[in-house]
Amino acid sequence: MNLPIIYHPNYIAPMPPAHRFPMAKFQLLYEMLLTDGVTEKANFFYSTNASF
First to last CA, the chain: 36
Mean pLDDT of 13-41: 88
pLDDT above 60: residue 1 = no
pLDDT tens, residue by residue, 32-42 = 999 999 888 88
State the Cα torsion 25-30-34-35 to the nearest 10°.
-20
